[in-house]
Structure 1
């Protein structure tokens, strides 16, 4: 387990949130799956909710702002200056979905798509630092970009966030970890995903930790999910990929201890 009380360093994937059609159903699903409780995002946040474990925020869920938007977990990367980062996004071939704006006193954010079309957010912390617990059952533990255009994607994130990469390519998989500039720590991944179906865009995939992936996968299925990838043994433990009842996709992984 890791509890975070200070701002996440720039370039760290540090928050995920989800917009849904049916908020009560999403609360029930994730509450039953991970043991999340929910509290209001604060006065002026509408129906946006902070999912909590042990009194600490781990993710956000709210109603869709646009009914036509896909139902998907959005990965947010930390920035010390969201306005400057947003300018770099545009200069590096990305586009802004939402220009920088203040979220009450919680922070300042923008929403964007990168140079290969994957959506993500940028967060400059105010009173809300992002995930306060990570790397434990029901909490965020890893975020990775799945892309058909591996080289272009890596260039974009190095230009915008000044990250470097550690190549982990092995037979049958082209993969690298994303290293934040402040300390060179691995904080995310880039996967050259040649198996992406034609109708699935390049995207950031959120991984939540589980203390028993087999049991969590079974519970997800009982709650109405589809396992897009069954429980599989891998170098970091068991994994599975879940499509939840409202369509969002996420991974579960058996207690990898990815550091801050």
Structure 2
């Protein structure tokens, strides 16, 4: 489970690049109750999505000619430069070399061998998102990939992940977790593109999941406010009810109303 006690290899940041940050801010305010606070000139226009007094995502305007609107997931590292070297050695690409972000931390952006973008964040004064797993915040990540085995090998080499599996009717869901942790600490999954009818086999990507109180109401609200329901809400036994959405600019993400975790010791 994702928590704010971030470990190396766990998702600790997520941000949105979009051609119209004002429109995006309005959409996510209506969907999740987020308040967008734009950064000053020193931040290059980068701002924060806030839920109450906690930061739940970042965002900035990215011209359409620089790429489609998209959410990007960042994973914690103790050494962004060493991670960049590991990416290159494992067959990935460094898109944005490690750089300091004032005293907040050090970041870098990469692409895995399939061309899927992801980032790393080496914490400084900013230790990561202020809230996760709460309603309106990041709660899970998934990589849609053409080759699960190759992806698992790459991210293990780069982020040290351990790979696990959760059986379900018809197969096994591949999970990922920081090194040295148990299955309960899983922070994401690897999904074969070929098995998902709503995904384009030529567009592997990382998608963030955001926790919601009511999946069906959230999907309906997204559609009413200019977004798209890419996969209608579906219930997963023991997991929750989830849907795949896209915002008005086409940035893909998912939402889930998770089944409450059992109390310690399994008491009723």
- Does TM, normalized by the shorter one, top 0.5? yes
Distance 1:122 1:256, change over 3 A: farther
Offset at residue 171 of structure 1 (A) = 4.4
Q: Is the 8 A contact 2:11 2:73 kept in 1?
A: yes
Distance 1:245 1:66, change over 3 A: closer
Correspondence for 2:140 among 139, 142, 146: 142
Match of 2:61 in 1: 63
The answer to whether the aligner puts 1:108 opposite 2:106 as a matched pair is: yes
Match of 1:192 in 2: 192
Task: Using the TM superposition, name which of 210-219 and 181-190 deviates more.
Answer: 181-190
Offset at residue 167 of structure 1 (A) = 1.5
Match of 2:9 in 1: 11
Give distance in 1, aligned partners of 2:241 and 2:145.
Answer: 23
RMSD of the TM alignment (CA)?
1.9
The answer to whether the aligner puts 1:253 opposite 2:256 as a matched pair is: yes
Match of 1:161 in 2: 159
Give distance in 2, aligned partners of 1:162 and 1:188.
Answer: 14
Correspondence for 2:37 among 36, 39, 63: 39
Q: Secondary structure at the match of 1:154?
A: helix
Give distance in 2, aligned partners of 1:143 and 1:203.
Answer: 10
Give distance in 2, aligned partners of 1:245 and 1:174.
Answer: 33
Offset at residue 38 of structure 1 (A) = 2.1
Q: Is the 8 A contact 2:145 2:151 kept in 1?
A: yes
Offset at residue 169 of structure 1 (A) = 4.5
Give the alignment's TM-score, normalised by structure 2.
Answer: 0.89
Match of 2:232 in 1: 230
Offset at residue 42 of structure 1 (A) = 5.5
Q: Is the 8 A contact 1:111 1:120 kept in 2?
A: yes
Alignment deviations for residues 29-73 of structure 1 (CA, whole Å, 9 cap, x no partner): 001110001224466112211111121110011011673212110
Give the alignment's TM-score, normalised by structure 1.
Answer: 0.91
Gaps of 5+ in 2: 262-268
